[in-house]
Amino acid sequence: MHDEIVGLLLTAEQIRARVAELGAEISRDYAGKTPILIGVLKGSLVFMADLARAITTPINVDFMSISSYGDGTNSGVVRILKDLDESITGQDVILVEDIIDTGLTLTYLLATLSARRPASLEVCGLLDKSVRRIVEVPIRYKGFDIPDEFVIGYGLDHEGRYRNLRAVIGVRDMAALRDPELVARALESVGA
């Protein structure tokens, strides 16, 4: 019954192993450089913290906070709530995203960042919901392909909750999310 509410998509161990691989790949590609990891708040918070520690070359980190315009048009135009602290001109930049869905947010961010003339600009995305793509986006470092399901956990939220789950959980009954006790029991039953 609980598996009609949530399903375990990625275990903490699967995520840990893949993030280690991504970190090793980035460390090789950026040997001798000091890339800036730019996290898109708030969803990339957990991924960013683990990825940064999986990279062995020197890095800097910076964060942007954005919000979609709430007009329901899904235009991909986002409002920058918090911009970067430092200039990225001439720097090697890796944009760190939790999930790429339609690709609209990422397209907007890449345009905004490339206008600042970084030396290089690549994307590292943990989750790719590629069936939902509206605009093609280059994801240089990708964690996992996932099916078209709403997901929570490992930084991803529903109305601000569930970011602290260690696993990535697919939600099958969105209405059930309004009942935290029911969700807690369902999560426990799938071992999350």
**101 flagged as catalytic:** yes
Using left for φ > 0, alpha for ψ between -120 and 50, and beta otherwise, residue 94 falls in beta
The site map against ligand IMP for 7-46 (x = CB under 6 A) is ------------------------------------x---
Which of the choices ligand IMP, Mg ion, none does residue 100 contact, using the CB cut-off of 5 to 8 A by kind?
ligand IMP
**Nearer Cβ to ligand IMP (30/43):** 43
Stretch 96-115: interaction string toward ligand IMP, x if CB under 6 A: -xxxxxxxxxx---------
156 binds, among Mg ion, ligand IMP, none (CB under 5 to 8 A by kind): ligand IMP
* Burial degree of 188 (CB within 10 A; 0-12, 13-18, 19+): exposed
Rounded to whole angstroms, how far apart are CA atoms 192 and 189?
A: 8
Determine which residue in the list 59, 64, 151, 168 makes contact with ligand IMP, applying CB under 6 A: 151
Residue 151 binds which entry of Mg ion, ligand IMP, none, CB below 5-8 Å type-dependent: ligand IMP
User: Distance between CA atoms of 97 and 127, rounded to whole angstroms?
Assistant: 8
Compute the least distance from the CB of residue 69 to ligand IMP, in Å.
Answer: 12
Give CA separation, 148 vs 9, 94, 110, 132, 171, in Å: 12, 26, 24, 7, 10
Nearer to ligand IMP, 106 or 165 (CB): 106
Token pair belonging to 40: 């898109």
Contact footprint for Mg ion (CB under 5 A): 43, 98
- Give the whole-angstrom CA distance, residue 164 versus residue 153: 6
**Which tokens go with 67?**
């919000």
Q: For residues 44 and 91, which CB has a smaller minimum distance to ligand IMP in the complex?
A: 44
The enclosing H or E element of 59 equals none
Nearer to ligand IMP, 19 or 123 (CB): 123
Q: What angle do CA 156, 81, 150 make, to 5 degrees?
A: 20
Residues at the site binding ligand IMP, with contacts judged by CB under 6 A: 43, 76, 97-106, 150-151, 156
Residues annotated as catalytic (active site), given as ranges = 101
